[in-house]
Amino acid sequence: MMVQRPTFSVIAPAKDEEELIEEFHQRVAAALEPLGEPFEVIIVNDGSSDRTPAILRELNQRDERFKSLTLSRSFGAEPAFTAGIDYAAGDAVILIDSDLQDPPEVIPELIAKWREGYELVYAVRASREGETWFKTLTAALFYRLMDRITSVNVPLDTGTFRLMDRSVVRALSQMREHNRSMRLLSVWTGFTQAGVPFRRHARKAGNTKYPLRKMIRLTLDNVTSFSYVPLQLATYFGFAVAALSVLAMLLVIIGRLSGSQAFFGQATTLIVVLFLGGVQLIFLGIIGEYLGRIYDEVRSRPLYIVARAVGFDGKPQSEERAPAPDDKIAPGARSYRN
């Protein structure tokens, strides 16, 4: 019997989401079934330590449209999304988190925009429930900072929740950098784009996967992956300090000739040395961030490793090497991407 190719592929990473997977299944199915077109849902288990893998296997037995990829360890949300994209077969691919903060009921609205001819449709957060004022403020600052200093016109108040046409997916499949952001890479590809406003819900169960420390790391990754501004700031600051040094030297010469001692003293010298030393360390750290990303790329390690694939036949759509279907994987076997 020939398997019908899906029109829509929904991709959702999951890490320790045993309390929400069943509801996620019900709500996604309820959102897509009325459309009357074939679909698949790929849930990527990103190193869960709870019952998430077992629940995903049970889901596939009940509903073969719900497939799963289990990674060999936790690689992070972005590599998990990448794994799902590599395996997706739909004409349109929807990225969504499995924590239900992004409501699956918005998916038909994204699809409606796609049918109008837009190739990238992102969900715009009109409101954010259950978040502290600090989280809301820092999120707003993050999007505006990225829009200001990167080479990408970043849509404000958007997350990973979006729909991508197959043409966008093909472009993304060519980008294999390790420090990646789907929200920025998908926008960078160009194509026709549109936004759909929605109300983001509070998390119903489990813990957030993006604490402050991880948000800071995400900001650094995005800035260094899409902008040279930090390096340019180092250059501009160097010129400014050099100019001030020449001015200070002239003032010292004038002071010496006039007999003034205003510019001499150990305290002044110590303050200047400590200040410049601190600035140098900061910019060395910035250079180190860029060098670290170059090191990540030249090692050529895989973005992810799939330990088990449930519900798939054949290789990923990206034509990378795929694991065998679930019932053919030998005990302890691992699948590595080239």
Q: Is the pTM of this model over 0.85?
A: no
User: Distance between CA atoms of 101 and 160, rounded to whole angstroms?
Assistant: 12
Check: CB of residue 18 under 8 Å from CB of residue 55: yes
The DSSP output letter for 8 is E
What fold does the segment set 8-208+305-328 form as a domain? Spore Coat Polysaccharide Biosynthesis Protein SpsA; Chain A (3.90.550)
Distances (CA, A) of 19 to 26, 99, 123: 13, 9, 25
What pLDDT shows up at residue 330? 32
Instruction: Give how far Cα 17 sits from Cα of 114, 204, 242, Å.
Output: 29, 11, 55
Q: What is the pLDDT along the chain (338 residues), one digit of tens a residue?
A: 445 678 889 999 988 888 888 888 889 889 988 988 888 899 998 888 888 888 888 888 888 888 888 888 888 888 899 888 988 888 899 999 888 888 888 899 899 999 988 999 988 887 766 666 676 777 677 777 777 777 777 777 788 888 999 989 988 888 888 878 888 888 888 888 888 888 877 666 556 656 667 777 777 777 777 777 777 777 888 788 777 777 777 777 777 677 666 555 666 677 777 777 888 888 888 888 888 888 877 887 888 888 888 877 765 655 443 444 443 333 333 333 33
Domain ranges (residues) in the chain: 8-208+305-328, 229-298
Q: What share of the chain is helix, strand, coil (3-state, %, to 5)?
A: 50, 15, 35
Q: Could you tell me which residues come within 8 angstroms of residue 24 by beta carbon, excluding any fewer than 6 positions away?
A: 12, 17, 43, 98, 100, 104
| Torsion angle in degrees (nearest 10) through CA of 138, 189, 89, 306 | -60
Residue 184 tokens read as: 């920025």
